[in-house]
Structure 1
Amino acid sequence: MSSVHTDYSEKRDFIRMRVDADVSLIHAGQVIAAICLDLSSSGMQVQAPRQFKVGDRLEVRIDSEYPALEGLEASTEVVWIADQPGGEQKLGLRILSMK
């Protein structure tokens, strides 16, 4: 079964935390400002202002608002896409590794 058609019952295997945080997506040397909608131990849902493809690799950075807490940096892969009005996309990102 391809990752595009992943059985959505697996989504319930991970607790998701609603975040609504500013994130930076790094792809092909470009930094793209986006919004992280939710986060789990294995992935995240992101609202992006431009088009990506399933299989694209993105570096994700979520900076911390608090000096005492480190931000999050992760290597991810786009596993699903939902096109949105205005050329935006919601992306399902699988976390490949944390930094």
Structure 2
Amino acid sequence: MSQTDRDYSEKRDYIRMRVDADVTLIHAGDLIPAVCIDLSSSGMQVRAARSFQVGDKLNVRIDSEHAALKGLEAETEVVWVTQQDAGSQKLGLTILKMN
């Protein structure tokens, strides 16, 4: 069963951690600054100033502020999109692979 086939309540069973962290989205070689709003073991919610569509594949990089800690890198897929003010979007990303 794919992430999009699960019912809403099952998707909400994952614990979400609010992070409000600056991230970099990488799409077709472009680096796009964004903000990770929350993060779970299976996905994340991100706010970006650039438009994406459901099904787009994005690499997400969250750099660590501490030299001793490695940042997070993940391959993701856009599973939902909500338009925001000033042309920005909130994106639901499912994590396909952690790098």
Task: Using structure 1 for the length normalisation, give the TM-score.
Answer: 0.93
Residues 1:82 and 2:71 aligned together: no
Alignment of 1:31-70 (within 5 A): 31-70=31-70
How far does residue 7 in structure 1 lie from its aligned partner after superposition?
2.2
- Render the CA deviation track for 1:37-79: whole Å, top value 9, x for unaligned: 0000000000010100000000000000011111000000000
Cα–Cα, structure 1 residues 55 and 66, in superposed 2: closer, same or farther, change >3 Å?
A: same
Aligned to 1:26: 26
Give 5+ residue unaligned stretches, structure 2: none
Seq. identity, %: 68
Deviating runs (4+, > 4 A) in structure 1?
Answer: none
Q: 1:28 & 1:81 partners in 2: Cα distance?
A: 19
Tell me the C-alpha RMSD between the 2 structures. Answer: 1.6
| TM-score, normalisation: structure 2 | 0.93
Aligned length in residues: 98
For residue 8 of structure 1, report the CA deviation from its aligned partner: 1.6
| SS class of match (1:9) | helix
Partner SS state of residue 13, structure 1? coil
Relative to structure 1, is the Cα distance of residues 2 and 19 closer, same or farther in structure 2, using a 3 angstrom cutoff?
A: closer
